[in-house]
Amino acid sequence: MYKGKTFLAIIPARGGSKGIPRKNITIINGKPLIQYTIDEAKNSKYLDRIIVSTDDKEIAEVAEKCGAEVPFLRPKELATDNAKTIDALIHAVKELEKRGSKYDYVVLLQPTQPLRRSWHIDEAIQKIVETNEESLVSVSEVKEHPILMRTIGEDGKVKNLMGISSTVRRQDFPTFYKVNGAIYINKINENFTKNTSLNDNKLAYLMDKKYDLDIDEPIDLEFFKLFLQLNKS
């Protein structure tokens, strides 16, 4: 709780990951991947409850051993490749409401962003409450600048993506940010529906890009292992 507002953390972890099979419970340095997010959520000063939304009984067991709650399993139709995260969140919120538990905000923490720390979560919570905004998304400065990005037309010629000259010193590039997938916060009200686009949440919470690592391919796990090795406490 922060300034009288309650926060429900939901960690989505379906069983059918494709790029890395069983990704969410892959063991990295002795811990399943999902535990890195659960541990940081548990260290948050403001999260009132931490649940994992999963369709998979093994993931549920691992999550509970790591200290998260799995009060119900997600329906299979909400865990397909085409299922949307917002639908899983709404399902979880409604199931908890049926059980008499209501919260002011939902905090989405994706386990595929394991470098996000508890103080990131708390700073984001503070920011959304202090600004009285309805939605927040974490962003990081881009590594590959869009001023250098191109599309290729049917004629085989490159086309400038931004429509502006790229003949400019790198230090003079305008600053651009990307949604990094680490933290999403939404107020639970009449505007929080299946039409909510989480990536279009309004308020920005800026994170240093060194904390931006999305675990999507096997090589990303190697980067994560290297990060942990270089940052041993």
Placement of tokens 């039409």 in the chain? 195
Give residue 32's pLDDT. 96
| pLDDT at 157 > cutoff 90 | no
Average pLDDT over residues 84-104: 95
Give residue 56's pLDDT. 93
Give residue 102's pLDDT. 96
Asked whether the beta carbons of 114 and 224 are under 8 A apart, the reply is: yes
- Per CATH, the homologous superfamily of domain 7-141+176-226 is Spore Coat Polysaccharide Biosynthesis Protein SpsA; Chain A (3.90.550.10)
Average pLDDT over residues 112-121: 97
Of 5, 36, 40, nearest to 186 by C-alpha is 5
CA–CA separation, 223 vs 221, rounded Å? Answer: 5
Element holding 225 (H helix, E strand): helix 218-230
| pLDDT at 172 > cutoff 70 | no
Tell me which range, 18-22, 80-84, 141-145, 182-186, is most confidently predicted by mean pLDDT. Answer: 182-186
The SS3 call for residue 41 is helix
Domain residue extents for the chain? 7-141+176-226
